[in-house]
Amino acid sequence: MKTILVPTDFSDHALFALKVAASIAKKINAKINLVHNNTMPSEGYSNTYYYEDMNKEIKVMKKKQLDNLVCQDFLKNIDVKKYILSNMKMWKIVTNKRFKNVDLIVMGSHGTSGLSEIFIGSNTEKVVRLANSPVLTIKSELKDFNINTMVFASNFYGESYAVFNKIKFFADFYNAHIDLLKVITLKDFEPTPVSRKLMEDFAKKFKLSNYTINIYNAPSIEKGITDFSNEINADLIAIETHGRTGIAHLINGSLAEDVVKHEDRPVLSIKIKDIPANISGLRWYLEKIEEIGSELKVSSSGIKNKHYPKFAII
């Protein structure tokens, strides 16, 4: 990990994120790209007599704010590159050719009680959905950012394998315990022996040693993730997202965005870009059932509907 992107609107929440980014950068000797988006008046106003002078004054003021921010003690000995952009949508910043290949994005975000939708705030959920880089969302000030316990919530189908190495990097770096979590709901039912076998195979594939397997029943996947994380007082939640296309049991549309929006603890979200060839969540699931069915004495008795297989436990 070499480059961390931190957007800022100079709010407290943006400052919380920058402090966490600085803590990570110091540990791994990474540089920080600090970006401010300067939103100017609308096009109609831009044609007025005063627009050019006002634009210059605002740019000077924002540059001074950015310079003062970089001079903070917690950024000493870190290579910080400053950028001031004009009228660029947040999700366009993270897909811009200058920033789309950063190794990590650290963003501040308001909780559900946020009073305004400013640059840092509701846009964070959009970044989670669209950014190709991992996104670490910070909701509050963390004086000593450290990860002792990490929850990785997943369906543990084939697509999950594509992103876990990036999550494992954080766990290994902080020597964190990983709680592998699969939430079971009435809608997304799965026999416990099947879930456990999928998770055991996943742990074996990545040679995990400091981990536990957790199968948790809840009325919704989001509530299961938050309730379980609260019960064990997790330091961080890691979750994968498919971006605009939800194709698996666990990752269903805006799940990752909802977790980021409603969860107060740090959330690390990673977009799945490359799904193994010819394996969707459902196909992987059916192939895995056939593979382990004899071991668990679970036999497929047909497809109840086009989304979920029906099981007979014998």
Q: What percent of the chain has pLDDT over 70?
A: 74
Give domain status of residue 183, yes or no: yes
110, 138, 166 — which closes off a domain?
Answer: 138
Does residue 49 form part of some domain? yes
Residue 79 lies in a domain: yes
Last residue of a domain, one of 119, 138, 157: 138
Asked if residue 113 and residue 35 are part of one domain, the reply reads yes
Angle subtended at Cα 106 by Cα 140 and Cα 159, rounded to the nearest 5 degrees: 115
What is the tally of structural domains in the chain?
2
- Residues 133 and 173 occupy one common structural domain: no
Residues 105 and 154 in one domain: no
For the cut 70, the answer to whether the pLDDT of residue 252 exceeds it is no
**pLDDT on residue 52:** 67
| Per-residue pLDDT tens over the stretch 131-152 | 888 999 998 888 889 999 999 9
- The confidence band for 37, taking pLDDT boundaries of 50, 70 and 90, is confident
pLDDT (0 to 100) of residue 50:
65
CATH number (domain holding residue 77): 3.40.50.620
Statement to judge: residues 120 and 163 lie in one domain: no
Q: Is the pLDDT of residue 161 over 60?
A: yes
Same domain, 121 and 161: no
Res. 208: pLDDT tops 90: yes
Structure tokens at 8: 């800022």
CA atoms within 13 Å, Cβ hemisphere of 188: 24
Supply the mean pLDDT for the chain.
Answer: 79
Is residue 87 pLDDT above 50, yes or no?
yes
Note whether 57 and 100 are same-domain residues: yes
Going by pLDDT thresholds of 50, 70 and 90, the confidence category of residue 277 is: very low
Is the per-residue pLDDT at 257 higher than 50? yes
104-126: pLDDT as tens digits: 999 988 644 333 444 444 677 77
311 in a structural domain: no
Does the residue 242 lie in any domain?
yes
Confidence band for 127, pLDDT divided at 50, 70 and 90: confident
Same domain, residue pair 133 and 161: no
Mean pLDDT computed over 277-301? 51
Domain that holds residue 119: 3-138
Residue 210 belongs to a domain: yes
pLDDT at 38: 77
Same domain, 7 and 127: yes
For residues 155 and 248, state if they share a domain. yes
Residues 6-33, mean pLDDT to the nearest whole number: 93
Q: Among 138, 162, 195, give the residue marking a domain's end.
A: 138
Q: Which residue has the higher pLDDT, 205 or 289?
A: 205
**Tell me: the pLDDT tens digits for 69-83?**
999 999 999 999 999
> Which token pair is 45?
């106003």
- Are 185 and 114 contained in the same domain? no
| pLDDT of the residue at 223 | 92
